[in-house]
Amino acid sequence: MNDVRILGTGGYVPDRVVTNDEVGAAAGVDDAWITAKTRMRQRRWAAPGQATSDLATAAGEAALDAAGVRADELSVIVVATSTPDRPQPPTAAYVQHRLGAAGAAAFDVNAVCSGPVFALSAVEGVLARRGGHALVIGADVYSSILNPADRKTVVLFGDGAGALVLGPAGTGPRVRHTALHTFGDLSPLIEVPAGGSRRPPTADTVTDGQHYFTMVGREVRRFVNDHLPRLAKQFLHEAGAVPDDIRHFVPHQANGVLLDDVFAEMALPHAQMHETLEQYANTGAASLLLTLDAAARQDAFRPGELILLAGFGGGMAAGFALIEW
């Protein structure tokens, strides 16, 4: 990867705190059940009328402030999301306007929970051509597409946004390498069945609940266990690193019990795994950057340390980034 530097991070979550007992009531489960299955204790949900672009803008502002970069210095804004404000235009266009970044190209990436890594890889090429700075945001409002009675999904998700400001060669953490994978044959494992061109919205699709998020949980878990450790080892080899080199592991915050199993399989003997899932649950495309920002603001990273980011989710997709702090 070209010498792209991280100049600042940012994050945002809505004010509303939703406890396990509250989210579990309609689904017929309680705090003890949810905690045992997921290690999640609460999550944040957007207020009525609060959309993905609102969360993304707030996280972007925080990252720009941390980086000391003005919005009018941005060349590109990429929003990774699978819960856009509307099917059209891109959510990034709203963010660009609200930030006052009129000179920036703005577009969305939908690789579901792996989206931020896909976005990181995409902006490398844009920066190489346009120069300047890039703002990468992962943001989702999953509370807007959850079936309140589906205990397999409604207990897992929260709303939030995380962001990075990237710039040209210089000082600061360096994005050393990225890798992207998609397994399209497994795409039915995670989907929203209706609302697009395959099954346009009708009164019947709404009545049947086909606009809700669905997930085949057992098969998703199998995908992660079978693929993520193997792909991560392959990625480190390609990046010129070995497991012993990694000091920090920042995974997508899918499920705490699942992450414990995956981390053990990853065999990263000197790495600390960072989590935000107990407070924020699974925030979709936000979770990687929101968790990275939380750790950075706690001064968890030291100069020269290697950080492995691992995203995985719908598509099915997986994305990895190696950051030298």
Residues 125-164 pLDDT 10s: 888 787 889 999 999 999 999 999 999 999 999 999 999 9
Same CATH topology for 4-170 and 176-324? Answer: yes
Mean pLDDT, the chain, as a whole number? 95
Report the CATH architecture of 4-170.
3-Layer(aba) Sandwich (3.40)
The pLDDT confidence band at residue 2, using thresholds 50, 70 and 90, is: low
For the chain, which residues make up each domain, given as ranges? 4-170, 176-324
The angle formed by the CA atoms of residues 63, 68 and 71, to the nearest 5 degrees, is: 70
pLDDT value for 264 = 93
Does residue 169 carry a pLDDT above 70? no
Catalytic amino acids? 113, 252, 282
Q: pLDDT digit string (tens) for 255-304?
A: 999 999 999 999 999 999 999 999 999 999 999 999 999 999 999 999 99
Q: pLDDT digit string (tens) for 95-132?
A: 999 999 999 999 999 999 999 999 999 998 888 787 88
Fold entry, domain 176-324: Peroxisomal Thiolase; Chain A, domain 1 (3.40.47)
pLDDT value for 132 = 87
- Residues 189, 216: contact at Cβ < 8 Å? yes
Collapsing DSSP to helix, strand or coil, 17 comes out as: strand
